[in-house]
Chains A and B, each alone.
Chain A
């Protein structure tokens, strides 16, 4: 365009035009050279890149073909030698095996005791559950020297860890761990029951549920029917054995004296029996579904 414009402007003098053209030509070619030098290098490089890319693709395709070819050769000859075809499948095999072992290691969490090796020993994870509900987990970091020692742990302070470890840690780690499991699961189970009572059956409770940190002493005032006009019962549940989720002592009392005291007494006794044999929230589920009918049927 520039060239054309220049031409039309200086159209009168042919010599002048030619000379001008010549000047422009040299100018242009000089410019081009300047531009082309780095460009050509780039072009070559990118062309090389594309070529390498293509070559790699071709190479990979041929390699695959050769591999098939080789497999056929392998199959047709009796002369068995370890070769690269096997190496590939062995890798596949190793990978699969590794995934399998990894999965099994993870599956240990379903036994309630899983663990991870550390530089000094093992970090054991203890899972807790109550009737299918998976609850909190705790860890014990053990240094596996003689005798084994607890390095860190997340066991609540009120669990008698020291007592358990003094008894069993040095003589029988397996027994130590399962005993700890028993304590932790029982604690989680008691806590779960109390929590469920508070959250799901608040309407039955006349006042707050009182509990200690171990959740092995619970006391609460309740009504067997949420809308009932009757006087409430007072329950006191004690779990003397720290490895249980059902109480060892149950006391149910009632306040006030009404005319139907024999019925009240029957209810009281029936409730006590229920608290002894069923998890707390299940007792209240039965209150909710059947009212007092259930208690009466138990008594008669």
Chain B
């Protein structure tokens, strides 16, 4: 009872203070600061708000670090996400204890340098035995990138409504692109005179020129393809730029058969070793 009396007294005191605060005009200057001070007194007694914010902040911090971790783990960053749910359960279904829910999801983010925006519908039907979740509609918007290979793949993913395939292939695609870029850069650094990246390291072409033989150039075209099933595969071709006189002199058809030999070499040595051997063959020739 004493505690109740005390509480009542405290409340009365607070109310008096609040009433005074209400009556006092919000004039600037002295008055305001006095009013404010009394507010502070009132609210400081109530530390609940502070505690709540502190908890919220630490919880938020924890969730944000989890998000950071997931985006590092998957290489996919989701920036925005929203969801709308619509219940399609009819009374007839309710009687049979079937639940039918349509969810509309919007999601945007990026996978390294490629940004994407997705919209899809997910239809969930639950009966007593099972739950089926089907993506009924998928649309993918990607900012036009330098990677033209992606547009065909995107329409196939949309057609198949295969969200997981989209992300999986995107991941492998980006992985290959980065590998290609690293490899091109490394060769440029190692053989700056022979290797030419006229369209930059991110492009699919690398030119090899011999300083001593002007007009003679080998061009490596390294494409990254995504097949029907979403598998990402590199495809390398060799193009030759040879002066007409040289072609006439090439009685054994070495230049003509070069692209084929290049393929064979790839199969035996792998990508990096094949490229290196090509560069070296021109490089050493030049230094001799």
Q: Enumerate chain A interface residues (CB-CB to B < 8 A).
A: 41, 44-45, 48-49, 51-52, 55-56, 58-59, 62-63, 65-66, 69-70, 72-73, 76-77, 81, 83-84, 87-88, 90-91, 94-95, 97-98, 100-105, 107-108, 110-117, 122, 124, 127-134, 173-175, 177-178, 181-182, 185, 243-246
B107 touches A91 (CB 8 A): no
A56 touches B11 (CB 8 A): yes
By DSSP majority rule, is chain A's interface helix, strand, loop, or mixed?
helix
B60 touches A129 (CB 8 A): no
Compute how far the CA of A175 lies from the CA of B78 in the bound complex, rounded to whole angstroms. Answer: 19
Compute how far the CA of A44 lies from the CA of B8 in the bound complex, rounded to whole angstroms. Answer: 13
Compute how far the CA of A81 lies from the CA of B40 in the bound complex, rounded to whole angstroms. Answer: 12
Compute how far the CA of A12 lies from the CA of B174 in the bound complex, rounded to whole angstroms. Answer: 117
Compute how far the CA of A134 lies from the CA of B56 in the bound complex, rounded to whole angstroms. Answer: 34
Counting contact residues on chain B (CB < 8 A from A), the size range is 35 or more
Q: Enumerate chain B interface residues (CB-CB to A < 8 A).
A: 1, 4-5, 7-8, 11-12, 14-15, 18-19, 21-22, 26, 28, 32, 35-36, 39-40, 42-43, 49-50, 52-53, 56-57, 59-60, 63-67, 69-70, 73-76, 78, 80-83, 105, 107, 118, 120, 122, 132-136, 138, 160-165, 167-168, 171-172, 175, 228-229, 231
Count A-B contacts at CB 8 Å: 187
B18 touches A98 (CB 8 A): no
| 13 A-B contact pairs sorted by A residue (CB < 8 Å) | A45-B4, A48-B5, A59-B15, A66-B21, A84-B43, A98-B63, A104-B80, A117-B65, A122-B73, A134-B134, A134-B135, A177-B74, A185-B165
B172 touches A101 (CB 8 A): no
Q: Which residues of chain A have C-beta atoms less than 8 A from B14's C-beta? A: 59
Chain A minimum-CB-distance residue to B28: A77
Contact A69 to B26, CB < 8 A, known contacts A91-B56, A98-B60, A113-B73: yes
Contact A185 to B52, CB < 8 A, known contacts A55-B12, A97-B60, A107-B81: no
Compute how far the CA of A66 lies from the CA of B70 in the bound complex, rounded to whole angstroms. Answer: 45
A73 touches B15 (CB 8 A): no
Q: Which residues of chain B have C-beta atoms less than 8 A from A243's C-beta? A: 231
Chain A minimum-CB-distance residue to B163: A110
Chain B minimum-CB-distance residue to A95: B56
Q: Specify which of A63, A69, A110, A113 is in contact with B107 (CB 8 Å cutoff).
A: A110
Compute how far the CA of A166 lies from the CA of B32 in the bound complex, rounded to whole angstroms. Answer: 70
A105 touches B18 (CB 8 A): no
Q: Specify which of A44, A107, A127 is in contact with B164 (CB 8 Å cutoff).
A: A127
Closest Cβ–Cβ distance, residue B131 to chain A (whole Å): 9
Contact A105 to B70, CB < 8 A, known contacts A45-B4, A98-B59, A134-B134: yes
Chain B minimum-CB-distance residue to A175: B175
Q: Specify which of A77, A115, A132 is in contact with B73 (CB 8 Å cutoff).
A: A115
Contact A103 to B81, CB < 8 A, known contacts A111-B164, A177-B73: yes
Q: Specify which of A48, A56, A115, A182 is in contact with B70 (CB 8 Å cutoff).
A: A115
A129 touches B21 (CB 8 A): no
Closest Cβ–Cβ distance, residue A277 to chain B (whole Å): 8
B162 touches A88 (CB 8 A): no
Q: Specify which of A48, A73, A182 is in contact with B32 (CB 8 Å cutoff).
A: A73
B22 touches A111 (CB 8 A): no
Compute how far the CA of A163 lies from the CA of B231 in the bound complex, rounded to whole angstroms. Answer: 20
Compute how far the CA of A56 lies from the CA of B46 in the bound complex, rounded to whole angstroms. Answer: 14
Chain B minimum-CB-distance residue to A186: B229
Q: Which residues of chain B have C-beta atoms less than 8 A from A185's C-beta? A: 164-165, 168
Q: Which residues of chain A have C-beta atoms less than 8 A from B67's C-beta? A: 101, 104-105
A129 touches B39 (CB 8 A): no
Chain B minimum-CB-distance residue to A44: B1
Q: Specify which of A56, A87, A91, A133 is in contact with B132 (CB 8 Å cutoff).
A: A133
Closest Cβ–Cβ distance, residue B59 to chain A (whole Å): 6
Q: Which residues of chain A have C-beta atoms less than 8 A from B59's C-beta? A: 98
Closest Cβ–Cβ distance, residue A9 to chain B (whole Å): 45
Q: Which residues of chain A have C-beta atoms less than 8 A from B134's C-beta? A: 132-134
